[in-house]
Amino acid sequence: MPKLSNVHTERIFENELCDHLATHGWTVRTHLQNATAYSRELALFPDDLLAFVQETQPQEWTKFCAWHNGKSEAVFVKRVAEQLDKHGTLHLLRHGFKDRNAKFILCQFRPAHQKNPHLSTWYAENRLTVIRQLHYSLHNEN
């Protein structure tokens, strides 16, 4: 329990935010040392991204792989980063993107009803991660 004198500090805020997210299914990594799979160049967790797409959209992944001769994972991660730069995070999460004959979605929003159980299953497979004190710079530890 925080003391009354330090209740408004950044550390207390981070603790409460991370605790809340963890209780709601997020993966919490306390420092970049616990997030070695994070790509600073692309600002992504490629392993989580690829696992989500491969598990939830195997038919689309197969179509994608047919075009990229064994470099599918690297090409996919690069395509996602390009789409994020071009359209922004919200657009990509809402609309996904298409590459050749494959269409990918990168998250499943909570279904409004239970008439399609596939959507609920897919929603449960979202991968949500938060990192405390993320070091984003390629040039220093900012």
* Domain ranges for the chain: 4-131
pLDDT at 5: 63
Higher-pLDDT residue of 1 and 90 is: 90
- R_g of the chain, CA atoms, integer Å: 18
CB distance 54 to 77 below 8 Å: no
Residue 53 has pLDDT above 90, yes or no: yes
Q: Is the pTM of this model over 0.85?
A: no
pLDDT at 32: 58
Closest-CA residue to 83 (of 104, 110, 61):
104
In the chain, the amino acid numbered 124 is A
- Other beta carbons within 10 angstroms of residue 42's beta carbon come to 16
Closest alpha carbon to 37 in 13, 73, 72, 70? 73
Average pLDDT on 105-118 reads 89
